Chain A
Amino acid sequence: MGKKILLEHIDVPGIDTYDVYRKQGGYTAVEKALKTMTPDSVVEEVKKAGVRGRGGAGFPMGMKWSFLAKPEGVPRYLVCNADESEPGTFKDHYLMKHIPHLLIEGMIVSSFALGANKSFIYVRGELMYVIRILEKAIAEAKAAGFLGKNIMGSGYDLELVVQPGGGAYICGEETALLESLEGKRGNPRNKPPFPAVKGLYQSPTVVNNVESISTTPWIINNGGDAYAAIGIGRSTGTKLISASGHINKPGVYEIELGVSVEDFIYADEWCGGIRPGHKLKAVVAGGSSVPILPANLILNLANGDKRLMSYESLSDGGFATGTMLGSGGFIVMDETACVVRNTWNFSRFYHHESCGQCSPCREGTGWMEKVLHRIEHGHGSLHDIDLLVDVAKKIEGNTICPLGDAAAWPVGSAIRHFRDEFEWHINHPVEATQPGAVYRGEMALV
């Protein structure tokens, strides 16, 4: 069994209530931080832990905290990004629903470290029932004296506000989220200035993912060095993986970073293997936006070594033969999955979710969806494949926010690794458009 940090107590009955959470050692990190530590020493522990942003970008959290501007007399804000919307990702949903006090405790410790007295949890609006769970947990924590004025006599005040989104993937991008939190359309902002200097209400702001913030109680209780000792290399600690698709045991798993991809897919502790009678065809390892890899490349690096579940190993080989850990949305496909159809589906998603602010993304996502639709529906031409690559390249790197890249990568990688499948669709339109038709050509299944 791997080390559990976030899900250690997930199976304890009633862990969603304050009393049970407290009995399992909950809120001791708040006591320790507020009574025995300074804000800077909390930041120091998080830096030592080396925990990287769990929302997808993987940027070191402690470093992000240290960029926060601290001008005199200006409020600072911590905003938790709980707008989990990346297809394939459902870990934050799971964590907040089952163990809401972990996030609340993390918010208190993190807000203390940053000197924020009003902090926000921005939850995607579809999760209104989770918002109610969080609000109940906040009321319980407040009644127990862990929120409000002068917490435990420390002189530190904190209020937590849970904010619903309105159904917009783009608001997972931190500056779009801040716009939305200010009651506006979720259009990402130009950077600089970065939120650390001018964020919410033009004040210095840190935006962190639910899972990232939820690591802080353990880090404070056990020390940053202890956290950094878990995992592998610069991929420290544990990561929640949302496993979906054609596996025996879909669900949310906490892994110690560094387990092999092969073990993660086939071991009973995690995915439990591909569903009976089927074989592994491809994996999208880090949420819909990261490059899709065929079976042989997700299991092994280009040099034949085993690929590991870590930031470095998953991105080994760059986009030629690698991918990214991203948000940990691990989507598994067996030989019945059609890569062309799935790519069209993802393109439709990005077209739907583009905010429309930058023309390469607004127009490009629409064109990719249209061209993929016609290939999938038997009206494509071979020229369309190069056209798709061209459109994807023209979006990438040419937009204010990373949604453009996120839309381009799935298309580019699907063509890179499954070009023959696209060609088959174009060359055999009648066969390819039969219900359930899937290319079964020269592909390596495992």
Chain B
Amino acid sequence: MTTETNAKIEFTPERQVLAKEIIARYPEGKQKSALLPLLHLAQEQWGWTSPEVMDYVAGLLGIEPIEVYEVATFYTMFHLDPVGKHVIEYCRTGPCCLMGGEDVYAHLKQKLGIEAGQTTSDGKFTLKEVECLAACGMGPVFQIREQYYMHLTNQRVDEIIEELSK
């Protein structure tokens, strides 16, 4: 829950420089192409893409806020609600399931005490179910931010959760 509702919505100075660089990558007049990269950058800073954050991104690109909303709601990677410190994105697709992914998932839910879409009461973990993460030979798999956790077992899940709970 990293967005402070009353704080001014603005990228950090480093991200402002990066945002300018990103916007300059595209041909003149095609700056809307920077929308997905900027939404990723925003989510990196605030943890989720709140309406205020989306409005800020719209302002940076000189486009209507609705153009940002319709994109952010189409792509599943953007969190439209506040999330916990660690968002666990668990692969629920066939090849991972063949490798025991469903049993490991049941164990993970029990361990965290939450269902998909929920956040633990201490605000540390949000659980999301996602489709194939392109790591089928290393399943079961989940992802937290940029990190892939592969060859998951119940024991491995316990270790990861305990490590991240510290």
Contact = CB atoms under 8 A, between A and B. Distances in A.
B30 A250 contact: no
A128 B40 contact: yes
Nearest to B75: A166
Interface string B85-124: 0000100111101110000000000000000000000000
Nearest to A170: B74
A126 B133 contact: yes
Interface string A101-130: 000000000000000001000001111110
Interface stretch (A39-47, A238-246, A423-431): A238-246
Most B CB contacts (10 A, CB to CB) among A84, A127, A346 go to A127
Interface residues of B, number: 45
Given A118-B27, A166-B36, A168-B75, A331 B134 contact: no
Given A166-B36, A201-B27, A245-B98, A129 B146 contact: yes
Interface size class for chain A?
35 or more
Given A87-B136, A89-B136, A165 B33 contact: no
A182 B30 contact: yes
Nearest to A93: B134
Contact of B77 (A75, A90, A125, A353): A125
Contact of B98 (A75, A93, A163, A246): A246
A184 interface: yes
Chain A facing B: main interface SS: mixed
A167 B135 contact: no
B32 A93 contact: no
A188 to B, nearest CB: 13
A252 B77 contact: no
A87 B93 contact: yes
Contacts of A148: none
Interface in A160-195: 161, 163-169, 180-186
Given A87-B136, A163-B36, A242-B137, A331 B95 contact: yes
Nearest to A161: B25
A86 interface: yes
Contacts of A252: 137
A163 B37 contact: yes
B30 A90 contact: no
22 contacts: A85-B134, A87-B132, A89-B136, A90-B138, A92-B134, A125-B36, A125-B75, A126-B77, A126-B89, A126-B133, A126-B143, A165-B75, A167-B76, A167-B130, A182-B32, A183-B36, A183-B71, A244-B99, A245-B99, A250-B138, A345-B93, A353-B131
Interface of A: 75, 84-90, 92-93, 118, 124-129, 132, 161, 163-169, 180-186, 201, 242-246, 250-252, 288, 329, 331, 333, 337, 341-342, 345-346, 348-349, 352-353, 355
The 6 closest A-B pairs by CB, nearest first: A166-B75, A167-B77, A250-B137, A183-B32, A183-B35, A244-B136
Interface of B: 25-27, 30, 32-37, 39-40, 61, 63, 67, 70-71, 74-78, 89, 92-95, 97-99, 130-139, 143, 145-148
